[in-house]
Amino acid sequence: MQQFGSLLSEEAGRAFAAAGYDPSLGKVQVSARPDLCEYQCNGAMAGAKQYHKAPAVIAGEVAAFLEKSGAFSEVTVVNPGFINLCVDEEFLKNYLSEMAGTERFGAAGAKNPKTVVLDYGGPNVAKPLHVGHLRSAVIGEAIKRIIRFHGDKVIGDIHMGDWGLQMGLVITELRHRYPELPYFDDAFEGEYPKEAPVTVSELEEIYPFASAKSKEDADYYAEAMENTHLLQEGKRGYRALWEHIINASVTDMKRNYDHLDVSFDLWNGESTVNDIIPEMVRGMRESGIAYESDGALVVDVAKPEDAKEIPPCMILKSDGAALYTTTDLATIVDREKRFSPDEIIYVTDKRQELHFKQVFRAAEKCGLVKPGTKLCHIGFGTMNGRDGKPFKTREGGVMRLETLIKDINDEMRRKIQTNPDITEKEADAIASQVALAALKYGDLSNQASKDYVFDIDRFTSFEGNTGPYILYTMVRIKSILARYRAQEGKDPASLDIRPARSTAEKNLMRSIAGFSQVMDNAYEDLAPHRICAYIYELSNDFNSFYHETRILSEEDSDRKEGWIALLCLTLDILETCIGILGFSAPEKM
């Protein structure tokens, strides 16, 4: 199905051609002056130069054909040569009926589906998930669903931080606390225990403790470095201990991501590629592209056109240790080999922009990806508190993700009134469902690259541009449909939309018609905020229609059926959109 806007443009293009002008002048767009008209075409203005004619003359000639096209109910030429348009009600209705019966409501599917690896989440083992990981998970999940909706194949990889110094620090501290454990006994040859020697909460206490200690105590730091090295070399006891730590951490992460309705196809981490690093490095060295500089191995990635200097990408430190860049490069090699993706997309804090620029350029220069593979970094801004500074706990510490989710749940629970139709238990479930929408919509409705203020009061409000407002609108539609079903005993999905008879009804219909264009734009730009903006507008249009229309008490059953069909489609579209954003609506609230 064609986008509604391009269908209108095609009609206008035909009118231009019929009047003897270039059909590409017939671009129709949504009116900048909705008080005057619904759509406008400024092609006559552009054509004036080309044809050395007054724009009003061209517009007049074209308008004569537009009036006959059947797509427009009103065509007005306005000085100096604008063409103002209102769409024909029957034409609009036909478009919506076709949408209702078409897969993806007519949004274009991928002609040649791509394979995309999406790297998001990025939590670190043994460290609690904090709000910084929230954005990557929420934005990444929405982007994954946008790409999937389009029809491409997406492999979502969590890419855990499960390697490197952080693991060495935890092992070092465990060794200090529990030296008697078999993992630290070099003579031990038996089987290690099945049970982990530590709990997740202990791990979460250990990591910051060890990290702080390593900064004050040089010997401790050296020990942690050495232990990191031993782990990476494959020391048996350390590997066994490391596996316990990973398992405990992963169980905890899965629980957290489940709450967020975020899921991954791959649970790989930095450690996954440890064994392929030596070969990759050898290749980079042999090609001469990687070279020694002050003992370290580096690749020059600067380009003459760079406005800011891009420092060389470091592959190995002078002590031979691998870095964050090294594991990211090796992960590219691994992904290339396993999936041969057309595109790899990373969703992280935008402060990692330079890192990814270096990694991408080094990967391309060293031929780690086939030519044409797109490497793309989506950097998001910081989530701030109401004071405009990065979001912290009241005590000024890093806010744990769990705490944040609990706070928003509690606030939502306060706002969901229990009434005779809703039991306490139902209210709890509804509150967490709506809270998730509040949290995700609060994040996704901002352009990802921008910082935003996390404001519980605003996010949980039922009014304004919020998740709960969207859900409230949907619940309203659901309840009307349920009452209609009970009243008439008819399935709303079997009814047909009728041509609009009021402005509010027509506005709602025009909003719906814009769906496929929004989805295509959201896919092109990997921009969930476009979908948020769309459903906010759609909800507003629905509510305006709802407030001036007495739907269920309408006596004319033909009209009533048309409205019910329209409500059905509105709900389906909203349902699809919030599903892509990664949340859902309750039956009542």
In the complex, which residues of this chain contact ligand ARG (CB under 6 A)? 119, 122, 124, 159, 161, 328, 346, 348
Query: Based on CB atoms, which residue is closest to ligand ARG, 346 or 452?
Result: 346
Least distance to ligand ARG from the beta carbon of 133, Å? 7
Least distance to ligand ARG from the beta carbon of 355, Å? 7
Residue 363 and residue 283: Cα distance in Å, rounded? Answer: 12
Least distance to ligand ARG from the beta carbon of 208, Å? 15
Least distance to ligand ARG from the beta carbon of 376, Å? 12
Query: Based on CB atoms, which residue is closest to ligand ARG, 123 or 562?
Result: 123
CA–CA distances in Å: residue 300 to residues 247, 358, 364, 385: 38, 9, 12, 39
Query: Based on CB atoms, which residue is closest to ligand ARG, 348 or 373?
Result: 348
As a whole number of Å, the CA-based R_g of the chain is: 29
Least distance to ligand ARG from the beta carbon of 110, Å? 25
Query: Based on CB atoms, which residue is closest to ligand ARG, 78 or 266?
Result: 266
User: Reduced to 3 states, what is the DSSP secondary structure of residue 44?
Assistant: helix
Least distance to ligand ARG from the beta carbon of 346, Å? 6
Q: Tokens for 220?
A: 């401790």
Query: Based on CB atoms, which residue is closest to ligand ARG, 159 or 529?
Result: 159
Provide the residue type at 433 as one letter.
Answer: Q
Rounded to the nearest 5 percent, the helix, strand and coil shares of the chain are: 55, 10, 30
Least distance to ligand ARG from the beta carbon of 435, Å? 25
Could you tell me which residues come within 8 angstroms of residue 478 by beta carbon, excluding any fewer than 6 positions away? 571, 585, 587, 588
Residue 299 and residue 322: Cα distance in Å, rounded? Answer: 14
Query: Based on CB atoms, which residue is closest to ligand ARG, 352 or 540?
Result: 352
Residue 381, class by beta-carbon neighbours within 10 Å (0-12 exposed, 13-18 middle, 19+ buried)? middle
Would the CA dihedral through 134, 138, 141, 146 be positive or negative? negative
Q: Tokens for 568?
A: 């059905």
Task: Tell me, rounded to whole angstroms, the distance of Cα 27 from its chain centroid.
Answer: 31
The answer to whether residues 130 and 401 touch, using CB atoms and an 8 Å cutoff, is yes
Residue 21 and residue 10: Cα distance in Å, rounded? Answer: 14
Q: Tokens for 243?
A: 């596996």
Query: Based on CB atoms, which residue is closest to ligand ARG, 269 or 528?
Result: 269
Residue nearest to ligand ARG (CB): 122
Least distance to ligand ARG from the beta carbon of 529, Å? 21
Least distance to ligand ARG from the beta carbon of 324, Å? 7
Least distance to ligand ARG from the beta carbon of 312, Å? 19
Query: Based on CB atoms, which residue is closest to ligand ARG, 269 or 468?
Result: 269
Query: Based on CB atoms, which residue is closest to ligand ARG, 85 or 134?
Result: 134
Least distance to ligand ARG from the beta carbon of 159, Å? 4
The answer to whether residues 159 and 119 touch, using CB atoms and an 8 Å cutoff, is yes
CB neighbourhood size of 189 (10 A): 8
Residue 464, class by beta-carbon neighbours within 10 Å (0-12 exposed, 13-18 middle, 19+ buried)? exposed
Least distance to ligand ARG from the beta carbon of 532, Å? 24
Query: Based on CB atoms, which residue is closest to ligand ARG, 161 or 586?
Result: 161
Q: Where are the alpha helices (DSSP H) in 260-319?
A: 277-286
Phi, psi of 299 (to 5 degrees): -125, 130
- The residue count for the chain: 589
Query: Based on CB atoms, which residue is closest to ligand ARG, 137 or 509?
Result: 137
Nearest to 284 by CA among 248, 254, 315, 256: 315
Residue 151 and residue 194: Cα distance in Å, rounded? Answer: 43
The answer to whether residues 134 and 443 touch, using CB atoms and an 8 Å cutoff, is yes
The answer to whether residues 353 and 380 touch, using CB atoms and an 8 Å cutoff, is no
Residue with tokens 């017939």: 26
Query: Based on CB atoms, which residue is closest to ligand ARG, 327 or 466?
Result: 327
The answer to whether residues 121 and 232 touch, using CB atoms and an 8 Å cutoff, is no
Residue 161 and residue 151: Cα distance in Å, rounded? Answer: 30
Query: Based on CB atoms, which residue is closest to ligand ARG, 163 or 221?
Result: 163
Least distance to ligand ARG from the beta carbon of 134, Å? 12
